[in-house]
A and B are shown apart, each in its own frame.
Chain A
Amino acid sequence: MTAAGLVNSMVLSLLDKAPPMGVIPDTVPVAEAAVRPELWWAGLILYLPLLSLVLCGLCAAFKVKTKLPAWLTTASLLASFVVSVMLYLNHEPPGYLVPLLSWIDLSWAGGDFVANFTLYIDSLSLLWVMFVTGLGTLITFYASEYMEADLGKGYTRFFAGVSVFLFAMVALVLADNLVMLYLGWEGVGFASYWLIGYYYQRPAAVAAAKKAFIMNRIGDLGLALAIYLIWSTFGTIQYDELMVVLREGSWAESYEGWTIDVIPWFLMLAAFGKSAQIPLYVWLPDAMEGPTPVSALIHAATMVTAGIYLVARTYEFFLLSPESLHVVAWVGGLTALLAATIGMAQYDIKRIMAYSTVSQLGFMFLGLGVLSTYGAVYHVFTHAFFKAALFLTCGAIMHGFAGQLDLRKLSGLIRIPGWRITSIAMLIGCLALAGFPLTSGYFSKDAILAEAFVTQGPGFEALGWMAIFTAFLTAYYTFRVWFRVCAGKVEYEPGDEHHGDDDHGHSDGHFHPHAPRFAMNFVMAVIAIGAMVATVPYFLDTKADEALAGGWVADMVHDSTARGGLPGLDGHGQPISESGAHDHHDHDDHAHPTILGMDPHFAMYIISGVVGGLGLLLAAWLHLFRRQDADRLRAALMGRWWIAWLPRAMERKWYVDEIYIGLVRAPLWVASHLMYAFDRFLIDGVLVDGVARIPRLVARWFQPLHNGIIQSYAVTMAGGLALIALLMILFLQFWNIGGGG
């Protein structure tokens, strides 16, 4: 059997698995979540990273110079992962609450504003918390070797930062209310600030950290306003109560106004900030100034997916205002395309991966926007693995080649002894990212792309084609990296980074890259295997609902708030009725959508396979077989004025940073200076000092009297007294006359 035949038969067998369009009964009742205090140990998922933070703090206080902080952190996170798996094994839908601590309770002040540290455990949060703690453990283990050059310097600080991140991320995911989610939301932003700025003596790292925090703050503003709006409209901010209110529709009786049309926009702002979408994506590529394990964990696998989580968690609000979902889809699609075009033209492999993260996050938002929460969540899941694998391999290369990240200066890694695992892990990651048939990325991306053609929306079909084109670009730039760096003949230049005491063998005047050792190799291998295995959930049986396809991930979405975006259900998690209440999700038989006359899912398997293959071939031509053609192509493009702007703009990232500086930062800067001048000269100088000067001006008339000679004062005084006495006498006489008269 040929390979093509194998693919064909696999694809045909998948047809059965393709999410059906039929009517599926909604079996999960809507009720307030049960409170289960007996599951208090779920809190350990939160407390263990906190414990590791405290232990790292102690290590710092006692100036520990060994790898102890790394082991402590890894052990705590592993324990945290084990607890989350146990929780998953114990899980029965629907979700339930585990109260931990009280925090803010304003129920006495009218309204029901209660935000306690309570965990809301449903399948969606379990899915997230498992891959977050699992990948966290692995990447921490990886970092124990990666960061060893900083032993005794920043080593402890690094692992303390990772602990903070894990704590905040878990709090974000497990929160039962929007304010605790906000705590995690800002917490991960802060951890990200901490870790991006890890090399705090580099101005670029400090600037990047600052930028990340401020950009995220813009998103946080949206989240805060969304919380206020949700609370004032629906009277609660706890998910379970919100869901009850929303499903029962009781809020609508007294509702009059505009808030529900605004809430999703603010949630979107928050999600776009955290998940690096247009217009707030510019911080993520800069965030690569942090150590690579951080980029892998925070800026690829976990934190940046918090935006997806937020939208999935609050999906009902988006469904109340369908236009918002169209915007989500378009923003996602455009971000994917924009970031892919930038990624194509970069030379720094870590930046390429950063742009590819932005691009893939765009795909996820596209999925959310076209009512495929399932596809988005599945893509989050697979992306976490393959992108972590890619970043960790980049990190290994950076570590071994003294910070070299330029793909023009590295080649043929797979042939260098000790780099085989790195190269293969990177290959697996690249295949999945490129959406090569039968890899995990292939299935998860298809779940999104196909739905773009299924769901009715403004220009969704064009959006779908655009996304397919983006998938082609993705395959190209992904393999551009792999063919350049890992394939080809052996050739390399070291970078200029001499961190720590490892001298990379400079003593003999010749550079020897040092290959990753056990910890890094082990983690890269495990995560690469994970990236392959991530396909499996797709084929598992769906337990929650017989009629529901999509496997384990669909199960995990089905029991959660994001069920509105499952294939086969309408926006409210109800089976699609024949009346077609939601025109944006119309599955009427006579309007059955197709791509090129085929069933969308089947067509998508073929199209995306072909597109991925084409991208790969293009990359192979330009970057493996005939590398000089790539330079020639670039020279040819640059030489023609009518097209030269395109590669230049792509290399310069479409000048977005410059535009922001010019349009926002510079005007604000000038305005601030003007305000300061206004404050000093007008308010303080003219108004305050001006008023204060009035008495002084008045005093100037009398100043000559004030000459410092005591006698002249005495004369004044005596004269004054005499005058008073005179007046009194006159007055008394007058009074006497008056009185007498």
Chain B
Amino acid sequence: MIWGWIMLLLPIIGALGVVVSSGRAARSLALWTSLATFGASIVAAVNFGVWGTGEFGLVSSIPWMSEVGISISIGADSVSMMLVLLTTFLMPLAVLGSWTAVNERLKEYYGWLLLIETAMIGVFLARDLVFFYVCFEFTLVPMYFLIAIYGGSGRARACVKFFLYTFTGSLIALVGFLYVAWSNMESTGQWSFDIATLTTFAAGMPLADQLWILTALVIGFAVKIPLFPVHTWLPLAHTEAPTAGSVILAGVLLKLGTYGLYRFALPMTPEAVVEWAPILGILSIVGILYAGLICWVQTDVKKLVAYSSVSHLGFCVLGIFALNPMGLQGSVLYMINHGLSTGALFFLVGMMYERYHTRDMDSIGGLAKRMPIWAFFMVFFVLASVGLPGLNGFVSEFLCLLGTFAAGESGSYPGVLGPWFAAFAALGMIVAAMYLLIMVGKIVFGSLKEPAGTDRHGLSVDLNAREITVLVPLAVLCILLGVQPWIAMDAMDGSVVEILSVYQPSEVAQQMVDAGSAWVAGSPSP
């Protein structure tokens, strides 16, 4: 399918255009390119044709290094497609959100932004392991420069740590991948890096091998997610990154980790996953509560939101290792919802920072008085983040916990988590309400407190039309996914069941896929 390639190439072409354009034209060119990519992804989604099934759409391949079985092949199941949509949706907003925040070296900035878009789309679309890995690593480069050039005062340390930490992690994952590919070569006599082939092969490897492979993969992806205790690069990187960088980091880059678990860890090493799930579940829960409590004592708003990402993604990982469709579906929804609500929170913090040049909760307060529109959106997205039913966060959190709770009960899935895991993780709901509302109580409500000598650099007191334009689409999607989540859920159930098919007898999975594919026939549940 041509649209996959268009999505991949458009941002690169745009980036080239940005680099040769004049500085001022760069941002509108970047905006139009990202909008065009979004349009392309919408067209691709409409013509996708395999929503709700476990099939792959947009499948296409061009040879690259054929001797060793490497090709640039793309293809997306429903979950990948949804994450691609999330990426292309967030990108124009990120461009629009940095309209006035970035004032120097514009060409470079927007060039990097567009390049990272290609890399992220590449990760989600890749059907070849080497291509996946190249894209996965390439996301680091633009982000490194976004932090290093446009970041805050501690950016030098932050970008190096971000780069080295995640890079080291992914190298370990690469070792795992190469081991699988090598074993496959040993067994079949020829190299192949086709993800489907390797997945099937790895799933049949002995448990001892699977344990090693899973260890490598989990180390690589856990750093990216980030899972406790390998999370410490995140608060630093988020705090120093420019607003758009934080949005992309929280919105999409963290999901590369959970997507990696979804795409590789689960189907490649089923036996090992069953062995390891309790440990990973405990790590997730520790992360949820630990990061949540740390949020409570933060004074820097952005750091608070960053730690809250660690806490939130704990739910996501928990849902994955529930090893049943509910948990996994909740987890995928969580990836999308977290991208929307936390992305919006980073935008809001950035908008505040642009006006007051501080993120210190002790030196600002009661901004609802000064910026009612901003305050409205802040409270809205905080509530989405807290998981207020009716908004998006609730459905995914609820499903993750439900899946965790019911692990091992429904169908014949070998879930090893259970009620205790869900009960402890659910404490995170209270903790989340605590730190987010305390944050809101400090900066949004209370008596007005502004730093002395506030200089808004020509920005309006409250949000301007451009900033509202950035936030409204996010808010609309938050409501939509909160009230009608079945749109996303029905669209992805087939893929989720397909990923989990190695965990249970095929006929049960087939029934579920059949039930799920009713969506394609145009008969959504009443």
By a beta-carbon cutoff of 8 Å, the part of chain A in contact with chain B is 99, 101-111, 113, 116, 179, 182-183, 186-187, 190, 193, 197, 200-201, 203, 206-207, 209-210, 213-214, 217-218, 220-221, 224-225, 228-229, 231-232, 668-669, 671-673, 675-676, 679, 683-684, 687-688, 692
Once the chains are docked, how many angstroms separate the CA of A672 from the CA of B430? 14
Q: Looking at the complex, which one of A111, A183, A218 makes contact with B410 (CB distance below 8 Å)? A: A111
Q: Please name all residues of chain A whose beta carbon is closer than 8 Å to the beta carbon of B410 when the two chains form the complex.
A: 109-111
Of listed A218, A231, A675, residue having the most chain B CB within 10 A: A675
Q: Please name all residues of chain A whose beta carbon is closer than 8 Å to the beta carbon of B383 when the two chains form the complex.
A: 190
In the complex the two chains form, is A105's CB within 8 Å of B401's CB? no
In the complex the two chains form, is A225's CB within 8 Å of B422's CB? yes
In the complex the two chains form, is A692's CB within 8 Å of B164's CB? yes
In the complex the two chains form, is B402's CB within 8 Å of A103's CB? no
In the complex the two chains form, is A228's CB within 8 Å of B406's CB? yes
Q: Does B525 contact A (CB under 8 A)?
A: yes
Segment of B40-48, B134-142, B189-197, B441-449 engaged in the interface with chain A: B441-449
In the complex the two chains form, is B446's CB within 8 Å of A683's CB? no
Once the chains are docked, how many angstroms separate the CA of A213 from the CA of B436? 11
Q: Please name all residues of chain A whose beta carbon is closer than 8 Å to the beta carbon of B427 when the two chains form the complex.
A: 221
Name which residue of chain A comes closest to B496, CB basis.
A109
Q: Does B87 contact A (CB under 8 A)?
A: no
In the complex the two chains form, is A201's CB within 8 Å of B293's CB? no
Q: Please name all residues of chain B whose beta carbon is closer than 8 Å to the beta carbon of A113 when the two chains form the complex.
A: 326, 402
Known: A108-B515, A201-B446, A206-B445. A186 touches B389 (CB 8 A): yes
In the complex the two chains form, is B419's CB within 8 Å of A228's CB? yes
In the complex the two chains form, is B293's CB within 8 Å of A675's CB? yes
In the complex the two chains form, is A214's CB within 8 Å of B437's CB? yes
Q: Does B93 contact A (CB under 8 A)?
A: no
Once the chains are docked, how many angstroms separate the CA of A210 from the CA of B515? 44
In the complex the two chains form, is A104's CB within 8 Å of B489's CB? yes
Task: Sample 28 A-B pairs with CB under 8 A, ordered by A number.
Answer: A102-B486, A102-B526, A103-B486, A105-B525, A106-B489, A107-B515, A109-B329, A110-B325, A110-B411, A110-B413, A111-B406, A113-B402, A201-B448, A203-B446, A206-B446, A210-B437, A213-B433, A221-B427, A225-B422, A228-B402, A228-B405, A228-B422, A229-B419, A232-B406, A671-B293, A673-B297, A676-B298, A688-B161
Name which residue of chain A comes closest to B236, CB basis.
A684
Q: Please name all residues of chain B whose beta carbon is closer than 8 Å to the beta carbon of A201 when the two chains form the complex.
A: 366, 369, 445-448
Of listed B324, B433, B444, residue having the most chain A CB within 10 A: B433
Name which residue of chain B comes closest to A695, CB basis.
B164
Q: Does B409 contact A (CB under 8 A)?
A: yes
Q: Looking at the complex, which one of A106, A179, A675, A687 makes contact with B294 (CB distance below 8 Å)? A: A675
Name which residue of chain B comes closest to A668, CB basis.
B293
Of listed B233, B402, B411, B419, residue having the most chain A CB within 10 A: B402
Q: Does B206 contact A (CB under 8 A)?
A: no
Name which residue of chain A comes closest to B330, CB basis.
A106
Q: Please name all residues of chain A whose beta carbon is closer than 8 Å to the beta carbon of B294 when the two chains form the complex.
A: 672, 675-676, 679
In the complex the two chains form, is A683's CB within 8 Å of B229's CB? yes
Known: A201-B445, A206-B445. A231 touches B389 (CB 8 A): no
Once the chains are docked, how many angstroms separate the CA of A231 from the CA of B409? 11
Q: Please name all residues of chain B whose beta carbon is closer than 8 Å to the beta carbon of A101 when the two chains form the complex.
A: 483-484
In the complex the two chains form, is B430's CB within 8 Å of A221's CB? yes
Q: Does B171 contact A (CB under 8 A)?
A: no
Q: Please name all residues of chain A whose beta carbon is closer than 8 Å to the beta carbon of B366 when the two chains form the complex.
A: 200-201
Once the chains are docked, how many angstroms separate the CA of A183 from the CA of B229? 34
Give residues of chain B (409-438) contacting chain A, Cβ–Cβ below 8 Å: 409-411, 413, 419, 422-423, 426-427, 429-430, 433-434, 437-438
Once the chains are docked, how many angstroms separate the CA of A335 from the CA of B161? 55
Of listed A110, A182, A206, A220, residue having the most chain B CB within 10 A: A110
Q: Please name all residues of chain B whose beta carbon is closer than 8 Å to the beta carbon of A669 when the two chains form the complex.
A: 296-297
Q: Looking at the complex, which one of A187, A193, A225, A683 makes contact with B232 (CB distance below 8 Å)? A: A683
Once the chains are docked, how many angstroms separate the CA of A692 from the CA of B165? 9
In the complex the two chains form, is A102's CB within 8 Å of B229's CB? no
Q: Please name all residues of chain B whose beta carbon is closer than 8 Å to the beta carbon of A197 when the two chains form the complex.
A: 445
In the complex the two chains form, is B297's CB within 8 Å of A200's CB? no
Name which residue of chain B comes closest to A168, CB basis.
B390
Known: A101-B484, A197-B445, A206-B441. A679 touches B232 (CB 8 A): yes
Give residues of chain B (302-343) contacting chain A, Cβ–Cβ below 8 Å: 324-326, 329
Q: Please name all residues of chain B whose beta carbon is closer than 8 Å to the beta carbon of A187 when the two chains form the complex.
A: 388-390
Q: Does B347 contact A (CB under 8 A)?
A: no
Q: Looking at the complex, which one of B389, B441, B447 makes contact with A182 (CB distance below 8 Å)? A: B389
Q: Does B15 contact A (CB under 8 A)?
A: no
Q: Does B204 contact A (CB under 8 A)?
A: no
Other than A210-B441, A679-B290, give 6 A-B pairs with Cβ distance below 8 A.
A102-B525, A187-B389, A200-B368, A201-B369, A224-B429, A225-B422
Once the chains are docked, how many angstroms separate the CA of A187 from the CA of B388? 7
In the complex the two chains form, is B493's CB within 8 Å of A687's CB? no
Name which residue of chain A comes closest to B390, CB basis.
A183
User: How many A-B pairs with Cβ below 8 Å?
Assistant: 161
Once the chains are docked, how many angstroms separate the CA of A690 from the CA of B301? 28
Known: A200-B446, A201-B447, A206-B446. A224 touches B484 (CB 8 A): no
In the complex the two chains form, is B437's CB within 8 Å of A228's CB? no
Once the chains are docked, how many angstroms separate the CA of A86 from the CA of B214? 62
Q: Does B220 contact A (CB under 8 A)?
A: no
Q: Please name all residues of chain B whose beta carbon is closer than 8 Å to the beta carbon of A104 when the two chains form the complex.
A: 395, 398-399, 485-486, 489
Q: Please name all residues of chain B whose beta carbon is closer than 8 Å to the beta carbon of A692 when the two chains form the complex.
A: 161, 164
Q: Does B512 contact A (CB under 8 A)?
A: yes
B1 to chain A, nearest CB (A): 27
B89 to chain A, nearest CB (A): 23
Q: Does B281 contact A (CB under 8 A)?
A: no
In the complex the two chains form, is A109's CB within 8 Å of B325's CB? yes
Q: Looking at the complex, which one of B413, B444, B447 makes contact with A203 (CB distance below 8 Å)? A: B447
Q: Please name all residues of chain B whose beta carbon is closer than 8 Å to the beta carbon of A108 when the two chains form the complex.
A: 325, 493, 512, 515-516
A224 to chain B, nearest CB (A): 6
Once the chains are docked, how many angstroms separate the CA of A203 from the CA of B442? 9
In the complex the two chains form, is A231's CB within 8 Å of B429's CB? no
Name which residue of chain B comes closest to A114, CB basis.
B525
In the complex the two chains form, is B388's CB within 8 Å of A109's CB? no
In the complex the two chains form, is A231's CB within 8 Å of B402's CB? yes
In the complex the two chains form, is B406's CB within 8 Å of A676's CB? no
In the complex the two chains form, is B526's CB within 8 Å of A99's CB? yes
Q: Looking at the complex, which one of B409, B429, B515 makes contact with A220 (CB distance below 8 Å)? A: B429
Q: Please name all residues of chain A whose beta carbon is closer than 8 Å to the beta carbon of B516 when the two chains form the complex.
A: 108
B277 to chain A, nearest CB (A): 18
Known: A110-B411, A214-B437. A231 touches B406 (CB 8 A): yes
Q: Please name all residues of chain A whose beta carbon is closer than 8 Å to the beta carbon of B497 when the two chains form the complex.
A: 109
Once the chains are docked, how many angstroms separate the CA of A608 from the CA of B497? 63
Once the chains are docked, how many angstroms separate the CA of A231 from the CA of B389? 18
A314 to chain B, nearest CB (A): 18
Q: Looking at the complex, which one of B388, B430, B512, B526 makes contact with A218 (CB distance below 8 Å)? A: B430
Q: Please name all residues of chain A whose beta carbon is closer than 8 Å to the beta carbon of B406 when the two chains form the complex.
A: 111, 228, 231-232
B261 to chain A, nearest CB (A): 19
Q: Does B524 contact A (CB under 8 A)?
A: yes
In the complex the two chains form, is A672's CB within 8 Å of B297's CB? yes
In the A-B complex, list the 8 residue pairs whose CB atoms are closest, starting with the nearest. A183-B389, A109-B325, A110-B410, A684-B232, A110-B411, A200-B445, A108-B515, A672-B293
In the complex the two chains form, is B447's CB within 8 Å of A106's CB? no
A236 to chain B, nearest CB (A): 13
In the complex the two chains form, is B296's CB within 8 Å of A221's CB? no
Give residues of chain B (501-526) contacting chain A, Cβ–Cβ below 8 Å: 512, 515-516, 524-526
Q: Please name all residues of chain A whose beta carbon is closer than 8 Å to the beta carbon of B433 when the two chains form the complex.
A: 213-214, 217
Name which residue of chain A comes closest to B328, CB basis.
A109
Once the chains are docked, how many angstroms separate the CA of A104 from the CA of B485? 7
Once the chains are docked, how many angstroms separate the CA of A193 from the CA of B388? 12
Q: Please name all residues of chain A whose beta carbon is closer than 8 Å to the beta carbon of B389 when the two chains form the complex.
A: 179, 182-183, 186-187
Q: Please name all residues of chain B whose beta carbon is closer than 8 Å to the beta carbon of A200 when the two chains form the complex.
A: 366, 368, 444-446
Once the chains are docked, how many angstroms separate the CA of A729 from the CA of B389? 76
Give residues of chain B (130-177) contacting chain A, Cβ–Cβ below 8 Å: 161, 164-165
Q: Looking at the complex, which one of B290, B390, B493 makes contact with A675 (CB distance below 8 Å)? A: B290
Once the chains are docked, how many angstroms separate the CA of A109 from the CA of B512? 7
Name which residue of chain A comes closest to B52, CB basis.
A108
